Amino acid sequence: MKYESTRGSLGYKNAPQAIIRGIAEDKGLYVPQQIPHLTDSLEELGKLSYQEIAYKVIGAFFDDFTDEELKSCIDGAYDEKFEAEEIVPIVEAGGAHFLELYHGKTAAFKDMALSILPYLMTTSLKKEGVTDKICILTATSGDTGKAALEGFAGVEGTEIVVFYPYGAVSQVQERQMTSQEGENTHVFAIKGNFDNAQTGVKKIFSDDDFAAKLAERGIRLSSANSINIGRLVPQVAYYVYGYVKLLARGVVKAGEKVNIVVPTGNFGNILAAYLAAEMGIPVNKFICASNENKVLTDFINTGVYDIRREFFVTNSPSMDILISSNLERLLYLLSGRDGEAVKGWMNQLDAEKIYEVSDKVKEGMKCFAGGFCSEEETEKAVGDMYRQHGYLMDTHTAVAYKVYQDYAAATGDETPTLIASTASPYKFAESVSRAIGLAEAEDGFAAVRALNEKTGVYVQKGLKDLDQKPVLHTGVCEVGGQAQAVLDALK
């Protein structure tokens, strides 16, 4: 299987090369030349473990890896680090099925991909005979940073540099990152929002002089954001897993479709659901849920992507994003792999902050529904679900659930529904505590304890006693200062 850029320049890569590079030379994103189909029946897959399904799905995309290589990546990634035996529990509550993706080390769904990416990366380096050191650059809205740090900490031949928006992540998220151990880890707060951080990182990737400077020192850049195909593909596995387990449980019959609801920021997670459907799981609607930063809701409804709007910092901060990078991959697929058109839209977005897609793409978008909800509605959804069904959701998952409820009420659609549950409620303990009516805690850490006392819901190891962990990273940088920060970090 070869990989091509969404911006149409030729020069195909194999999977290891695409994983090492992260982003294509023309700033496009790598996409496989075809979406592979599942070769086993969904009934057969329903009998398999998470690891076995991951092996089938990832192996179909990354066929350059040998069976042993892939098995060792998967076994290394999906082991006891996950504090749930089945890796991804599926819990029914309030008329939907929650695909709990947050039982990994950092308590967010980012662990699903970032616990395997370092293995895929080091295997790729070996296969390609690359001896340079790889520096992973990551912009984070809060959760990717910690998951990437955990994944790459201590991994030989790598350095990792993370930028998070100053004052715009939860206290738990911030301490998770700033307390990260490991000689090869570097963390900076950027005085800007996530889009500033991500744009800065993308700029560094396309700066040839900067690359030359690093090359002199035997260093190459790569990405742990969902722009890296090595991160996106492992995410496809859990949607396949979710569907076949619903089938095995008799929730759906053979061939019956499901809806998939995803709380969306950078469009990576929902794109993985789309790819899972292309592989062969039956899906009715992909429901894209946003918070007040509802660029995607508007885009799905109109075909116009317009970032000329106010940016809100919300109680679902990992979705506080206006430029959703992975949408580019969907546009590429829906336009019939028209790299020139995609390049045009992306250039327009850079220059004019707005673009409108073709009728062909609009037609293709019809399997998507978009919705958004406010911060108040988010907290109400958390509170109502807890009081009525005893199920505790984090704020991001609550956005998805509320948008799903609105969708179901508006359409009368009764299709069985999977909701991607993207974080532990403890990661956003202050908002979640308030939502279920607890008194305001002293800080985010006290809120974790109070929430646990009240609900008895399991707290993952990594979130316990976080306030006892010393702060090891205090770097702050200005918008535009990221390249210098990287150089300083790599000294």
Ligand X SMILES: *Cc1c(COP(=O)(O)O)cnc(C)c1O
Residue 98 contacts residue 91 (beta carbons within 8 Å): yes
CB of 458 to ligand X, least distance (A): 17
Count of residues binding ligand X (CB under 6 A)? Answer: 16
Q: How far is the CB of 266 from ligand X (least distance, A)?
A: 3
Catalytic residue among 110, 146, 202, 343: 110
Nearer to ligand X, 8 or 265 (CB): 265
Q: Using CB under 6 A, which of 105, 175, 245, 396 touches ligand X?
A: 396
Q: Does 269 bind ligand X (CB under 6 A)?
A: yes
Query: Closest CB to ligand X among 58 and 247?
Result: 58
Where does 183-281 show beta strands of DSSP type E? 185-191, 219-223, 258-263
Measured CA to CA, the distance from residue 191 to residue 476 in angstroms comes to: 7
- Between 48 and 273, whose beta carbon lies closer to ligand X? 273
Question: How far is the CA of 66 from the CAs of 15, 16, 80, 87, 268, in angstroms?
Answer: 12, 12, 24, 24, 26
Report the alpha-carbon distance of residue 241 to residue 45 in Å, rounded.
8
CB of 140 to ligand X, least distance (A): 8
User: Which one, 9 or 199, has the nearer CB to ligand X?
Assistant: 199
Task: Specify the length of the chain in residues.
Answer: 491
Closest among 478, 454, 447 to 175, alpha carbons compared: 447
Nearest residue (CB) to ligand X, 70 versus 236 = 236
Instruction: Please identify which residue in 204, 229, 403, 423 interacts with ligand X, judged by CB under 6 A.
Output: 423
Q: Is 422 in the site for ligand X (CB under 6 A)?
A: yes
Q: Quick check: helix, strand or coil at residue 421?
A: strand
Binding mask 107-146 for ligand X (x = CB under 6 A): -x-x--------------------------------x---
What is the β-pairing status of strands 158-165 and 185-191? parallel
Continuous segment of H or E residues that includes residue 191: strand 185-191
- Give catalytic status of residue 81 as yes or no: no
Backbone angles phi and psi of 480, in degrees to 5: 95, -10
Bridge partners of residue 188, in order along the sequence: 163, 475
Using rule CB under 6 A, residue 225 touches ligand X? no
Minimum Å gap between C-beta 264 and ligand X is 4
Residue 294 lies near ligand X (rule: CB under 6 A): no
Tell me: does residue 268 bind ligand X (CB under 6 A): yes
Rounded to whole angstroms, how far apart are CA atoms 459 and 481? Answer: 37
Binding site for ligand X (CB under 6 A): 108, 110, 143, 226, 263-269, 318-319, 396, 422-423
Residues serving a catalytic function are 110
